[in-house]
Amino acid sequence: MSRPSTPNELRKAWQDFFVSKGHTAYASASLVPANDPTLLFTGAGMNQFKDMFLGKGSHSFKRASTVQKCVRAGDIDNVGKTLRHFTFFEMLGNFSFDDYFKKEAIAWAWEFITTVLELPPEKVTVTIYKDDEESFGEWKKHGIPEARIHRFSAKSNYWPQNAPEDGPNGPCGPCTEMYYDFGPGTEKGDAGPDDLDSGRYLEFWNLVFPGYDRRGKNDLRSLGRRNVDTGAGFERMLAVMDGNNAPFHTAAMRPIVEAAAHALRTNYGGAGGNDALVRRVADHVRTATMCVADGIRPSNEGRGYVLRRILRRAIRDGIGAFRLQEAFLHEIVPSVVATMKDAYPDLVAGEREVIAAVRAEEEQFRATYAKGIRYFEDALPKFKTSGRVPGDVAFKLHDTYGFPIDLLTQIAEEEHRLTVDRPGFEVELEAQRERARAGSKMAGDVFATGPLGDIKAKGAKPTKFLGYDGTGCEGRGTVVGIIQGPTSVASASAGDDVSVVLDQSPFYAEGGGQVGDAGVIEGAGASGPVRVRIETTKGQDGLSLHVGKVESGTLTVGQAVDAKVDRARRDAVRRNHTATHLLHEALKRVLGNHVRQQGSLVADDRLRFDFAHGKPMTAEELRRIEDSINGWVLDNADLDTKSMKTDEAKASGAVALFGENYGDDVRVVSVPHVSRELCGGTHVRRIGDIGTFRVTSESSVASGVRRIEAVTGLGAIAAANADRDRLREISQLLKAPSDQIVSRITAIQDEMRDVRKQQERAASEAGAKLGERLATQATTMGGLRVLVAEVRGQDGKAVKALWEGLAKAGVEAAFLVGESGDKAPTLCGALASAVKRGVDSGALLKVAAAVLGGGGGGRPDLAQGSGLDRTKIPAALEAVTQAIGKVLGG
Ligand code: SER
């Protein structure tokens, strides 16, 4: 193996080395953690193997190595300021799942750096967890002197950092880290060799031994497993290989930094002193590119909001420090693609999509940024002396002008040396949420906390859902609460609008995109039968609210009732819900793995599915989607639904939807060999129940987000019938059988084109004739034939044809006023001979417009316009005649 020197060579050397040590080279996971909705981003190589460390994973191998894409926003304030902090980076990792342990991990790490990378051993310093004698002994065996083996507490030598005290729960353990000594003369080079935080040293590889499962504060349970999780910073490793303590200046990052400088219209390393900002922008664009490529879009929530914050910080650097008036960030994207494409080839196809998403975000933010800054600066005198931006100002900037709070903090600190009243901001934010809740209360929303709180106080437990069993449409329950308007009541009678809470019910409460069920609730009331018609069912705090109207009798809290879901409607919903899962899978197969669900609606009459994808789908792609789904429908497999513990479900590889908060128990809905999703909705029993699937529309909902609407079962048949009816109607109108419609329409279009051409020809002939006649009225001015005239009944187009006729008849300059309703279309034309003499049609037309009102303009040889005041026509003719006279001296 020759010594690697480029980023690609390092990636390859890493994988080759660990494969030679019995590892499976495994691909980087997406930045969006696949089975862990609790995590915003993949931030370490071990994330995708979390279950393997706990002994619950499903991989057959016991050793793996990866080059993993990572996003960590925690260090964002240092990014750019130093040469080694990033929000995106790659992590080289090797892992043992209850297989090899400290001895091998340390030996291979040592072998890799000393024999593959050929680093001088004396430059390496290590740290160990304070009482990890085993690691201590291993390092010594490789010849590291004791003075270069430092012991630290869990605060620095545990992973996650200080896990026993601070968490999170899950796999954790002591670690040993490797540092490279760049020697005095770097950054803070005079720091002594004991100060590992100085610029002299760079931590580049962390070897973790996650042998514990943390369950709570200082509650570590031994897993009894020999686990290894190592992570080497890719850019840091390159810096070590370069012998220069500057990960930002390695080949993995330098081209992006240069591109950022170019886009910022500055020089990197020049005299401007802006290098830290250039680095920050470069980092942020790299992060954004990698995020968008993995299906993340800027938004106001979750990881989308992190991406938005990162982008807005970079945009603001461009506006603030570099005074760029136009969107610039997207110009940096191609350098990221070029630098990363060998390792992540999907970037090439996604480049345009990334550019569009980055640009859209910048344009959107720029639209309000200037106003926000003005608002901030206007308010500045009020709080300058206190040194603190008040919470209400921060909130207004956040809410009205789209300044994320950390961006405002940055602006306040960096430009004005002010702090931000963060608690005050939080209070305002909470008040806004409160107002939103109150707003929905005034709108008559039954979810107002009041009545529901009463019902819960009386002991109502979360409604048990009976809808998965049997037909799923019938069940018996007891009324535990009735809400009428803003209060909870003991009974309700015919005509009352109510929301009924039952202890258990087959009615599905709106959620996960699926609409709530409708139907009836019936019972034997004290004074006769009761019947409540339910329009929909909504959920709040685990209680299902059956929203409807009492049709007859009196419904009383405590009474037993039969709840009957409208079965035809439910069945239609089921078909659409299962079809949504199939659609998700078909889209991935046809368009690629970047397709990610962004939202969905499952109703009885249609389904809607929003997903990340950068361009409109072609008719051919849509047809393939339909064909795949209808193929699965015809296969008619049994749908499999299982209820299991969330952890188990994820371990089985089920797709968890992001932003969904799953409880401890989940349902896993699987279509054999097709899809497997965590889902609480109601589904068909066999895939054939869907009947048939048909896309009704494909459109854009936001930049980079497409929407498909589709129908199934009877809905699909109805859509097909509607299409057929339309076709029949068209065929009747065209008086042609439907298979001849296309040729008939083409023939009509040809005919129309001919007619239009004929008309134009006729008009120009008429114009020419009229022109010839009018030409006789032309006078001679300064030796040129000139006509200034009003021509009644000729609109703008006709006036143009007229001028062409006049020109043919030898008139060299003309000013014409036509007639179009109460407007006066004007034209001024001049042949080359007249233009040469100084006649300027555009200027003459302006002379006319000054008299007539209205406007117009054009070139010296031809100008057209429209005047407003027809009574001024004689005056206009006079003015133009004089103007021409002046030019021609006639
Ligand atoms: N998980 C550890 C880290 O992130 C080592 O891979 O540092």
User: pLDDT, tens digit, for every residue of 621-660?
Assistant: 999 999 999 999 999 999 998 888 776 776 676 766 533 4
The pLDDT assigned to 661 comes to: 40
- Residue 155 in tokens: 């605060």
Q: Which atom of ligand 1 is nearest to the CA of 91?
A: 6
* Residue whose CA lies nearest to ligand 1 atom number 3: 231
Q: Give CA–CA dist 658/669, Å, rounded.
A: 16
With beta carbons less than 8 A apart as the criterion, state whether 207 and 109 touch: yes
| Residue carrying structure tokens 């992570």 | 231
Q: Which atom of ligand 1 is nearest to the CA of 46?
A: 1
| Three-class secondary structure of residue 197 per DSSP | coil
Q: Which of 157, 229, 230 is the best mutation target for the ligand 1 pocket, counting ligand atoms within 8 Å of the beta carbon and taking the most?
A: 229
**Ligand 1 centroid, distance to 139 Cα (angstroms):** 19
Instruction: Please name which of 534, 532, 557, 537 lies closest in space to residue 480, comparing C-alpha atoms.
Output: 557
* Residue whose CA lies nearest to ligand 1 atom number 2: 231
703 dihedral zone (left: phi>0; alpha: psi -120 to 50; beta): beta
Write the CA distances from 22 to 104, 157, 592, integer angstroms: 12, 27, 31
With beta carbons less than 8 A apart as the criterion, state whether 584 and 608 touch: no
Alpha helices in 234-345 (DSSP H): 234-242, 254-263, 275-293, 302-320, 333-340
Q: Which of 159, 175, 176, 227 is the best mutation target for the ligand 1 pocket, counting ligand atoms within 8 Å of the beta carbon and taking the most?
A: 159
On the question of a cis peptide bond just before residue 462, with omega within 30 degrees of 0, the verdict is: no
The pLDDT assigned to 757 comes to: 94
Q: Give CA–CA dist 152/159, Å, rounded.
A: 13
**Ligand 1 centroid, distance to 181 Cα (angstroms):** 21
Q: Which of 204, 208, 228, 236 is the best mutation target for the ligand 1 pocket, counting ligand atoms within 8 Å of the beta carbon and taking the most?
A: 208
Q: Which of 26, 42, 46, 86 is the best mutation target for the ligand 1 pocket, counting ligand atoms within 8 Å of the beta carbon and taking the most?
A: 46
Count the Cβ atoms, other than its own, within 10 Å of residue 25.
Answer: 14
**Ligand 1 centroid, distance to 678 Cα (angstroms):** 29
Contacts of 753 (CB under 8 A, 6+ apart): none
Q: Which of 206, 207, 209, 230 is the best mutation target for the ligand 1 pocket, counting ligand atoms within 8 Å of the beta carbon and taking the most?
A: 206
Q: Using one digit for the tens of pLDDT, what is the confidence trace for 210-252?
A: 999 988 889 999 999 999 999 999 999 999 999 999 999 999 9
The pLDDT assigned to 441 comes to: 31
* Residue whose CA lies nearest to ligand 1 atom number 4: 44
| Three-class secondary structure of residue 328 per DSSP | coil
Q: Which atom of ligand 1 is nearest to the CA of 208?
A: 5
Ligand 1, CB cutoff 6 Å, lining residues:
44-46, 93, 159, 206, 208, 229-231
Q: What is the DSSP letter of 160?
A: S
Task: Evaluate if pTM is beyond 0.75.
Answer: no
Q: Give CA–CA dist 622/634, Å, rounded.
A: 18
The pLDDT assigned to 890 comes to: 55
The pLDDT assigned to 708 comes to: 95
Q: Tell me the HSE value of 690 on the side-chain side, using a 13 A CA sphere.
A: 34
pLDDT block averages, 10 residues each, the chain of length 890? 90 97 92 72 90 82 95 88 94 97 98 97 96 96 95 93 87 95 66 64 96 90 95 97 94 97 92 89 97 88 85 91 91 97 88 91 88 89 88 89 85 88 87 58 33 78 86 92 88 93 94 91 87 91 89 94 96 96 96 85 93 90 97 96 77 57 71 89 95 93 85 93 93 92 94 94 84 90 93 89 91 95 94 94 94 89 94 95 88
**Ligand 1 centroid, distance to 45 Cα (angstroms):** 7
The pLDDT assigned to 123 comes to: 95
Q: Which atom of ligand 1 is nearest to the CA of 93?
A: 6
**Ligand 1 centroid, distance to 490 Cα (angstroms):** 58
| Residue carrying structure tokens 């796999």 | 171
- Residue 304 in tokens: 């989308």
* Residue whose CA lies nearest to ligand 1 atom number 5: 231
**Ligand 1 centroid, distance to 366 Cα (angstroms):** 38
With 0-12 / 13-18 / 19 or more C-beta atoms within 10 angstroms meaning exposed / middle / buried, residue 443 is exposed
